[in-house]
Each structure stands twice: as structure tokens, then as C-alpha cells.
Amino acid sequence: LEPKEEFEHSSLTVDVMRPRRSDPALAVLTQEGMTVEEVEALVESTRYSGFPVVVSQESQRLVGFVFRRDLLISIDNARKRQEGVVGASQVVFTEHAPAHAADAPPPLRLRGIMDLSPFTVTDHTPMDITVDIFRKLGLRQCLVTHNGRLLGIITKKDILKHMAQIANRDPDSILFN
């Protein structure tokens, strides 16, 4: 990433994170209560590289982060090998699988593929600090919270695009040089 002088006009992380006001909502998974089918539908309806996992849609408390490719591989493997995992199976990211009825299909437990401590910044963190964090820790993405609730996500590309806008240059020339 470029030197932080680009941010002297003091944008905040909330100005650069996604979703923007006009964007579709942040695509999240809940730690329990979704089926294999629902997770597959969510993953396939987007191109995002990863998905935050939250306690529930209502709480938006962050539990972890899973990469798209790990989700797809795990679901694919489970459907092939794990006895009884079907579209209607519950996907669980919790430590202990919730009790399931004897006639329900067995749950698919995916805690093992989740990053349990994804990096976060708050929405009001000045962008120069967020950029420093990205550079020092070599991040590709970081989650954004407000009062402990998940609010959005910011990726390295989002930052590069923002820098290009500030510099009033063609974003592609920076991204791919």
C-alpha cells in the first residue's frame, strides 16, 4: 500500500468500508440455524472471498470469518464423504453441536475452518490508522464494528480504490501496476 500521506484529509474507515448505503447488505453466516442449502445459496449468489460469522442476524455479534474456498471445499467433501450430510443438514460453527432430532439429518460442523479472531477496526478509526494496520499486519481484509456489532468489511482493494479516487487517477492503473 502507498504511503499514508494520501490520507491527510482524514477520511474515516466508515467512508471506505462496504457495504455502501446503496449496496446490498453485508453477506453474513449465522453460527447456527442455517442449512447446507442456505449456505450454498448465499455463497453462490455472491463473489465475495469470505463471510463473517455472527451469533445471530439480530445481534450481529461477530464470531469469526470463513473463506469462500474453505466453505465450498468443506461442503463438497461433506456431501461426498460424511455420512448423511444433505442439503437440509444444519451448518454449525459453535463449539458444541445443538441437539438434533433423531429423524433430522446430522449437522455439518464447520468451526474448524473458521478464523476465530479476525482483525477488526471500528467505523470511526481514521483511515491512516487502518492503512497502517493493513500494511504492518499484511491484511487482505478487515472487519468493521460499531459498538461491538459487525457493521462492514474493508479489503485491501477497497483501500487501493479509495486512494486512487483521492489521487484522481484511474483505479486500474494502481491496482495492476
Where does this chain bind ligand ADP (CB under 6 A)?
Answer: 18-19, 26-27, 47-51, 153-155, 157-158
- Between 55 and 86, whose beta carbon lies closer to ligand ADP? 55
User: How far apart are CB 115 and ligand ADP at their closest, in Å?
Assistant: 13
User: How far apart are CB 68 and ligand ADP at their closest, in Å?
Assistant: 8
- Between 20 and 100, whose beta carbon lies closer to ligand ADP? 20
Sign of CA dihedral 62, 21, 146, 49: positive
- Between 130 and 155, whose beta carbon lies closer to ligand ADP? 155
User: How far apart are CB 106 and ligand ADP at their closest, in Å?
Assistant: 27
Cα three-residue angle 41-30-23, rounded to 5 degrees: 65
Cell numbers found for residue 6? 494520501
- Between 82 and 123, whose beta carbon lies closer to ligand ADP? 123
User: How far apart are CB 109 and ligand ADP at their closest, in Å?
Assistant: 21
User: How far apart are CB 51 and ligand ADP at their closest, in Å?
Assistant: 5
- Between 103 and 177, whose beta carbon lies closer to ligand ADP? 177
Q: How far is CA 136 from CA 1, 17, 129, 157, in A?
A: 10, 19, 10, 16
* d(C-alpha 147, C-alpha 87), whole Å: 35
